[in-house]
Structure 1
Amino acid sequence: MEARQLTPVPDVVEVTDRTTFMTLEPEWNALVGATADEPFYRHDFLRVWMDNFASESRPRVLTLRDEQGHLTGALPLMEGRTSMYGVPVRQVSAAANAHSCRFDLLAREPEAAASAFFSHLRQDTGWDVLLLTDVPEGGTGWKLYEAARSAGLPVGTWESLQSPYIPLPGSWEAYQGTLQSKFKANCRRRRRKLEEKGRVTVERVEGGLELEAKLEEGFALEASGWKGRRGTAMAQDGRTRGFYSELAREAGYAGRLALYYLRLDGRAVAFQYGLEYGGRYFLLKPGYDESLSDCSPGQLLMEEVLRECIARGLREFDFLGPDMVWKRDWTEKVRRHTWLYIFNDTTLGRALCAAKFRWAPAAREVVAKWKR
C-alpha cells in the first residue's frame, strides 16, 4: 500500500495508488449509502471515471477512520499541474469533471471530517490551489471551504451550475396540474404531428445482450445534432465514449441503468441516458433527431419518461447539468453548484487568489465599460 501519513492528524490517510483504492469499495459504498447517497459518489462511478479520464494522473484519496477503524470520511482528489494567468500551478482537484455531474466530500460527521482533512492538507506545501468542482448547495465540501476561510487562507467561489430538478408527486395527473396550459397543448399538437409521420413507440433498456448495440444507437443520435457539431457528443472522444460505455455496463449489471428511446417506425428519434438510483432518476445525456425539431421529439420523450418515473414510484427527476430553457418547461426548481477554490497560505497562493477573484473581474468590468 502506497500511502502518506502526516503525524499531527493520525486518523487521516492518503491513498495514492489504484490498487489500494480498489480495496476500499465495500466500505466506501457503505459510507455513501449512509451520507450523500447518489451514484456520482459511489466507488464504482469514481473507478470508471478514473480509468477513463485520469488513468495517468496520481490520485490523492483522503480517508478518515474512527477509533474502531471504520471509514467515516473520504475525499477523492487528483494531483496535477495546470496554469493560471500564465503561471504554472500545482493543483489538487476533485476527482471529477463535467461528466461527473456533481462532487462532494463524504462524511458521517461533516465538520469533524472537514477539519481533519483541512489540517492534513495544510501541512503539505506541495500544492498551490485546491479545487472542488460542482459542489451542491449544502454539500459537505462547503465545510472544508469554511474551515480554510476561518483559518485565514485565501479562498474564492464560482457558481458553475443551476441544475433543474422535479419533485415527483404520486400521480401523473397531479404533476400535469403544475404545467402551463400552453405547454401541454403544444405537446399534444407536436405528438399528433409526429404520429402523422408514422408509428410512435417508447423503449426502455436496462442492460442485456443488446446493450452495446443500443448504446451505439444512442451515441449516433446524440452526435447527429448540435453536440456533434460542437464536438461534445459522447462518441466523439475516446475517453468520453469509454466512460459512458463502461458506466452503462456497470449500471446495467447493478440494475440502475435506464436508457429510453422514442421511436418513429422503429427508428430512434429521441434518446435519454439515465440512471435510476435511490428513488431518483438522473438524466446524464439526452439527444434527439434535429430534422424533426418541429415535432419536439426530445420533449415528447421527456413526457413519456416522466410518466413512467411517476408510475414506478420515483420521488424525483434530476436533469443534472446546466440550466436550459427546455428544462424549465418542466420545472422551476434548481440546485446550485459551485466551484470552491482554496489557495495555500503562501505568497503565490495569495497572488493567485487576488488575480482570480479581484484583478481579473476588475479588468473585465473595465473592458465591458469601455466597450459600451
Structure 2
Amino acid sequence: MTVHPAFPADSSPVDPELAPLTVRVVDPLALSPMLAEAWDRLAAQASEPNPFVERWCLQSALHLLDPDRQARLVMVRDGSDGPVIGVMPLILSARYGRVPIRHVAGWVHANHFHGAPLVRAGFERLFWSILLGWCDASHWARTLLHAPRLTEDGPLHCALMDVARVRGREAVTVHHEERAFLDSDLSPGDYWNASVRAKKRKELRRQANRLAELGAIGFRRWQVGERVDDWVDAFLQLEGSGWKGRERSALASQNDTAAWFRAIIAAGAEAGRLDMRAFELDGRPLAMLINFLSPPGAFSFKTAFDEDYARFSPGVLLQQDNLDILSDDRIRWADSCAAPDHPMIDSVWRERRRLVWVNVPLSGTADRIRFALLTRAEGFWRRWKNRTTTAKQQDAP
C-alpha cells in the first residue's frame, strides 16, 4: 500500500472509548473487493449524495488528476471488517491560500463541484468526531481541517458545526457561494412557464422555428447499452470549439482531464449514474449536457454548445428538455454545478443551493493560536475588501 509519508498506513482506533471504530488511509487503486463493495454500498446510504466522491468517479480523479499522489482516501469504518460509515479524500497542504500554514483539507480538483464527504445517514456527527479526533492525535496534522463546498445547513454542515462546538472549538465559515438549483413538484411544462417570462418563451419559440428552417432539429438522450465513446468524442469536440478551447480550459485541452473525463463517463454508464442529452440539427449536436444521477439528487456536471449557433439559444432549449429529469421517480432535485450568477441557468432554474467552506481548528495549543491569528487576518482582509468594493461602487458614474 502506497501512502503519503505523513499519513499512518495501518488501521488504528482513534480513542479506546470509540473502538472498534477505525480510520484508515487506503490506496484507492488497490482496494480489496470487500472495501470496494463497502464504498459502493455507502454511496447508496449517504445522508447527502455526492457523485464526485463515489468510487466510480473519485478513483479515476485520484489516479489521473493527482499525479504527485498528494491526496489520500480516508475511510472511517466500524471495526476491521464492518461497514464503512464515511469516505473523504484529504490532502496535507503546506499553504493556506498565500499563507504558509500547514493544514488538512478536503481534496478537490477543478471539476469537483461538491465537497461533501460520503457519510452514512445518521452517522454525521460520529464521522466528524472520529475524523477530527484522528487529526488531533496525529503528529502530522497541523492547525485546522478545511472542509470545502458543504451544503449550508445540510446534515453534514450542521453536524460539523455541532461537533466543533461540543469539542470547545469555533468552526468558521470562510467562504460561501450560491448557485442555481432545481427543486419543484411542478411538471416540466408548468415549471418552464412559471420560471421563464412569457416574452422570453415566445422568443425561444421563434428561435427554434428559425433553426428548424435550416434542417431537422431534435433532442436525443443516451440510452443504456449505447456506446459512450461517440458521445464523449462529440462533447469534447463541441466544448473545445468554443471559448473554453480558446482559453485552454476545455476538458480536451489537457491530456489528464481528457483521460479522466473519458474514464468517468464510461464508469458512470456502468454504474447506472449517467444521463447525457443532445440538441441536434441534422444529427449534429448544437448543445450537449451531462448529468450524474445520485438519487435522490442529480448533478448537472457539464454542458457545451456550438457558439456559431448562439443566436438560436441551443443551450437554453436543451435546458428546457432537461427539466424532465424531475420526472424520474428516483430524482427529487438537481444541482446545476454552475458558477454563481450564471446568466443562462439562473434564468431557468429558480431555486438556489448555498455552499460554504468551513475551517475547524485542531486541538493543540499551537494549532489554536495559529488558527486564531489566521481567522483574525482573514477577517481584516474581508472587511478591507468589502470597504474597497463599496468605495468603487460609490465612485462609479
- Judge which range, 140-149 or 127-136, deviates more: 140-149
Residue of structure 2 in register with 1:332 after alignment: 350
Counterpart-to-counterpart distance in 1, 2:176 and 2:238: 27
Counterpart-to-counterpart distance in 2, 1:262 and 1:149: 50
Match of 2:43 among 32, 36, 58: 32
Q: 1:164 is aligned with what amino acid?
A: A
Counterpart-to-counterpart distance in 1, 2:110 and 2:155: 17
Counterpart-to-counterpart distance in 1, 2:31 and 2:287: 41
Counterpart-to-counterpart distance in 1, 2:333 and 2:54: 19
Counterpart-to-counterpart distance in 2, 1:370 and 1:278: 46
Matched, 1:254 2:261: no
Residue of structure 1 in register with 2:217 after alignment: 200
- Judge which range, 278-287 or 211-220, deviates more: 278-287
Counterpart-to-counterpart distance in 2, 1:86 and 1:282: 31
Do the aligned partners of residues 170 and 147 (structure 1) sit closer, same or farther apart at CA in structure 2, a change above 3 Å counting? Answer: closer
Matched, 1:222 2:239: yes
Does the Cα contact within 8 Å between 1:72 and 1:109 map onto a contact in 2?
no
Q: Displacement, 1:337?
A: 0.9
Match of 1:301 among 312, 318, 335: 318
Could you list the per-position Cα deviations for residues 286-325 of structure 1 after superposition, in whole angstroms to 9, with x for gaps in the alignment? Answer: 1111121111010111122224x35555543432232312
Residue of structure 1 in register with 2:147 after alignment: 132
Matches within 5 A, 1:221-240: 221-240=238-257
Match of 1:162 among 161, 165, 178: 178
Do the aligned partners of residues 359 and 277 (structure 1) sit closer, same or farther apart at CA in structure 2, a change above 3 Å counting? Answer: closer
TM value normalised by structure 1: 0.87
Counterpart-to-counterpart distance in 2, 1:110 and 1:85: 28
Do the aligned partners of residues 237 and 158 (structure 1) sit closer, same or farther apart at CA in structure 2, a change above 3 Å counting? Answer: farther
* RMSD of aligned Cα (Å): 2.8
Does the Cα contact within 8 Å between 1:12 and 1:117 map onto a contact in 2?
no
Q: 1:130 is aligned with what amino acid?
A: L
Q: 2:149 is aligned with what amino acid?
A: D
Match of 2:289 among 257, 261, 272: 272
Counterpart-to-counterpart distance in 1, 2:219 and 2:391: 54
Q: 1:161 is aligned with what amino acid?
A: E
Where 1:99 maps in the other structure, the secondary structure is coil
Where 2:179 maps in the other structure, the secondary structure is strand
Counterpart-to-counterpart distance in 2, 1:60 and 1:306: 35
Do the aligned partners of residues 192 and 82 (structure 1) sit closer, same or farther apart at CA in structure 2, a change above 3 Å counting? Answer: farther
Q: How many residues are matched? A: 369
Counterpart-to-counterpart distance in 2, 1:291 and 1:85: 39
Could you list the per-position Cα deviations for residues 224-274 of structure 1 after superposition, in whole angstroms to 9, with x for gaps in the alignment? Answer: 223223332211122222222111001112232222121112221111122
Counterpart-to-counterpart distance in 1, 2:228 and 2:75: 35
Do the aligned partners of residues 154 and 220 (structure 1) sit closer, same or farther apart at CA in structure 2, a change above 3 Å counting? Answer: same
Report sequence identity in percent.
20
Do the aligned partners of residues 254 and 221 (structure 1) sit closer, same or farther apart at CA in structure 2, a change above 3 Å counting? Answer: same
Matched, 1:178 2:205: no
TM value normalised by structure 2: 0.82
Gaps in structure 2 of 5+ consecutive residues: 2-8
Where 2:101 maps in the other structure, the secondary structure is strand
- Judge which range, 249-258 or 106-115, deviates more: 106-115
Where 2:339 maps in the other structure, the secondary structure is coil
Match of 2:76 among 63, 71, 75: 63
Do the aligned partners of residues 76 and 183 (structure 1) sit closer, same or farther apart at CA in structure 2, a change above 3 Å counting? Answer: same
Does the Cα contact within 8 Å between 2:64 and 2:256 map onto a contact in 1?
yes
Q: 1:61 is aligned with what amino acid?
A: V
Q: 2:163 is aligned with what amino acid?
A: A
Match of 2:116 among 104, 107, 115: 104
Could you list the per-position Cα deviations for residues 199-223 of structure 1 after superposition, in whole angstroms to 9, with x for gaps in the alignment? Answer: 1122222465742232121112112
- Judge which range, 18-27 or 107-116, deviates more: 18-27
Where 2:208 maps in the other structure, the secondary structure is helix
Q: Displacement, 1:78?
A: 2.1
Counterpart-to-counterpart distance in 1, 2:71 and 2:347: 42
Counterpart-to-counterpart distance in 1, 2:222 and 2:149: 29
Where 1:134 maps in the other structure, the secondary structure is strand
Matched, 1:362 2:383: yes
Counterpart-to-counterpart distance in 2, 1:75 and 1:360: 33
Counterpart-to-counterpart distance in 1, 2:343 and 2:388: 29
Counterpart-to-counterpart distance in 1, 2:133 and 2:173: 20
Q: 2:106 is aligned with what amino acid?
A: A
Q: Displacement, 1:175?
A: 2.8
Where 1:32 maps in the other structure, the secondary structure is helix
Counterpart-to-counterpart distance in 2, 1:207 and 1:21: 28
Do the aligned partners of residues 75 and 311 (structure 1) sit closer, same or farther apart at CA in structure 2, a change above 3 Å counting? Answer: closer
Match of 1:15 among 5, 9, 25: 25
Q: 1:122 is aligned with what amino acid?
A: D
Q: 1:271 is aligned with what amino acid?
A: M
Residue of structure 2 in register with 1:46 after alignment: 58
Does the Cα contact within 8 Å between 2:76 and 2:127 map onto a contact in 1?
no
- Judge which range, 290-299 or 248-257, deviates more: 248-257
Could you list the per-position Cα deviations for residues 34-85 of structure 1 after superposition, in whole angstroms to 9, with x for gaps in the alignment? Answer: 233443332222212211222412415041316x953252141322334236
